[in-house]
Structure 1
Amino acid sequence: MAEGIVDQTDEIVELKISRGRVDVQLSKELPMGKTRIISTECRSGERKIPPQVWMKLKKQIPHVRFTSQTIMESIKNLNSSAEIYRRTGGTHAAALMDEQGRILTISEDISRHSAVDKVIGKAVLRGLDFKEIFLASTGRITSDIVIKAANVGIPVIVSISAPTDKGIKLSKVMGLTLIGFARGKRFNIYTHPERIILPKNSAD
């Protein structure tokens, strides 16, 4: 779902796992342009996105709002709950948060892409509504991460790290709110700040 290949779980007919390879049979035919091998390895995280894909994904982004306190609370909860990341600094963590900044589901992986894929998959299995929650991550926010969020309708991405230039541009075009360097009591809003409710005396 994060790759935009399937829209719902009942489209998956069969799944086989063997020697590190996963084969998935779907109930529908895929256009040749969508047929590709998905790797779990760390990548640069940037790829070209056709304009028609931008427009399709843009329609899925809901207009919800979260407070700045919620954003800061989410990062605090992410850091305290990502045990391997906290102990070693050698993994990435991703979590889906509710309107209070509480963790709904969390995953860790050596790849930031896989951590996001896992957390989205867990949310799908639990039947969570992506339009009412947001994604928090420890990794850089690239265009690939933005696409994963947009594919399922996540409106806001928050990271303790930096976004890339392409990640910012794509978020702006698709109407997704992108927040980086969320640390302590500060964060940077790069796109669509209207979703974040700031204190009246805040200059950030």
Structure 2
Amino acid sequence: MSAARAPLTREVEVVNEHGEREQVHIPAERDLTIYVDRRELVTLMTLGAQPELLVLGYLLNQRLVQGASDVESITVDWEVNAAAVKTHAGIDRIEERTAKKVVTTGCGQGSVFGELMAEIERVQLPPTRMTQAQLYALVNAIRLQESTYKSAGSVHGCALFTLDADEQGGGPQAAMQIFVEDVGRHNAIDTIAGWMAMQPGEGAAGALGPARVFYTTGRLTSEMVIKSAQMGVPIVVSRSGMTQMGYDVAQRVGLCAIGRATNRRFVCYAGAERLVLQPGLAERG
């Protein structure tokens, strides 16, 4: 993989409500066209923080490759805003599999190729459970996280956490493994999928490993729930709400979906059996 990092923000001059000129930072949105074995596939709008992992995660979550081992190289060149992917054996039936494109609700016009809804029925999620204390620890870790959003706004953040195995809350509550921001939440989760696939001992799409929880600042749509399930992560947490289709998919695959998670407030939309409530904890300061 190349390491084509790009500045996440740029400074611009604005006029405030008093008519005064000042300098502020805004996210540096840029286009990135993905070529797979010299065939143009798609153009993503991204901040460009970790573009190689974004490309790998995109291919994984679109089910165009089964794992990182299918890919020989990923080279990103910001001079031409392109990512060149070389696979070991090509992508079988790529024309057919990318012919049907569904424009989703993702910021930056997220897209899902093929019949991913049909494939989701085959997903087997691990029996992960999370305590209420671990949920609060996760939300607090996000609150303390330094981010582009705090300095420039207009981006979504996603994170992957691992949980301590003790349901009584002994030891570490929730450990953040990676935090990603991008102009669209689907880009951020794809980048995390790429990161998972590159970890030692991971299976296809990073489905193996310790108990994990996915967090997003954005709403829980069908796309976010599907991608989390494909990644083998059975619990998703959002500071926003959930759509009907996202709810339906979560119910079908047995995924725990928690929304409106801020401070000590939350709503568990689906999979409540995975959440271990601790009476009185919400009232403790």
Please give the TM-score of this superposition, normalised by the length of structure 1. Answer: 0.85
The 5 Å alignment of 1:130-149 reads 132-149=211-228
| 1:147-200 residue CA offsets vs partner (Å, 9 max, x unmatched) | 111112111110001111111111111111111000110111111111110014
- 2:40 is matched with none
Write the distance in 2 (CA, Å) between the matches of 1:16 and 1:44. 22
* Aligned counterpart in structure 1 of residue 92 of structure 2, from 27, 30, 35: 30
**Which residues of structure 1 form unaligned runs of 5+?**
none
> Alpha carbons of 1:164 and 1:46: their partners in 2 closer, same or farther (altered >3 Å)?
farther
Write the distance in 2 (CA, Å) between the matches of 1:190 and 1:172. 9
- 1:71 is matched with 135
What percent identity do the matched residue pairs reach?
Answer: 24
| 1:60-82 residue CA offsets vs partner (Å, 9 max, x unmatched) | 21111110111121121123214
Q: Secondary structure at the match of 1:42?
A: coil
- What letter matches 2:86 in structure 1? Q
Indicate if the aligned counterparts of 2:102 and 2:112 stay in contact, CA closer than 8 A. Answer: no
**Which residues of structure 2 form unaligned runs of 5+?**
1-59, 164-172, 203-207
Which has the higher mean CA deviation after the structures are superposed, 178-187 or 23-32?
23-32
* Aligned counterpart in structure 2 of residue 112 of structure 1, from 171, 185, 193: 185
- What letter matches 1:29 in structure 2? I
- 2:121 is matched with 55
Q: Secondary structure at the match of 2:218?
A: coil
Which has the higher mean CA deviation after the structures are superposed, 28-37 or 169-178?
28-37
Larger RCO: 1 or 2 (CA < 8 Å, sep 6+):
1
Q: CA deviation at 1:48?
A: 8.8
> Alpha carbons of 1:132 and 1:6: their partners in 2 closer, same or farther (altered >3 Å)?
farther
Q: CA deviation at 1:20?
A: 1.9
Write the distance in 1 (CA, Å) between the matches of 2:273 and 2:91. 39
Write the distance in 2 (CA, Å) between the matches of 1:80 and 1:180. 19
> Alpha carbons of 1:95 and 1:23: their partners in 2 closer, same or farther (altered >3 Å)?
same
- Would you tell me which structure has more helix in proportion to its own residues? 1
Q: CA deviation at 1:28?
A: 4.8
- 1:21 is matched with 82
Which has the higher mean CA deviation after the structures are superposed, 95-104 or 6-15?
6-15
- 2:278 is matched with 199
Indicate if the aligned counterparts of 1:160 and 1:180 stay in contact, CA closer than 8 A. Answer: yes
Aligned residues: 201
> Alpha carbons of 1:9 and 1:149: their partners in 2 closer, same or farther (altered >3 Å)?
same
Indicate if the aligned counterparts of 2:65 and 2:91 stay in contact, CA closer than 8 A. Answer: no
* Aligned counterpart in structure 2 of residue 10 of structure 1, from 49, 53, 69: 69
Write the distance in 2 (CA, Å) between the matches of 1:102 and 1:54. 28
- 2:109 is matched with 43
- Aligned-residue CA RMSD (Å): 2.9
Write the distance in 2 (CA, Å) between the matches of 1:202 and 1:48. 44
Write the distance in 1 (CA, Å) between the matches of 2:114 and 2:281. 36
| 1:122-154 residue CA offsets vs partner (Å, 9 max, x unmatched) | 222233645621101111111111111111211
- 1:102 is matched with 175
Q: Secondary structure at the match of 2:247?
A: helix
Write the distance in 2 (CA, Å) between the matches of 1:52 and 1:185. 36
Indicate if the aligned counterparts of 1:79 and 1:86 stay in contact, CA closer than 8 A. Answer: no
- 2:264 is matched with 185
Please give the TM-score of this superposition, normalised by the length of structure 2. Answer: 0.62
- 2:151 is matched with 87
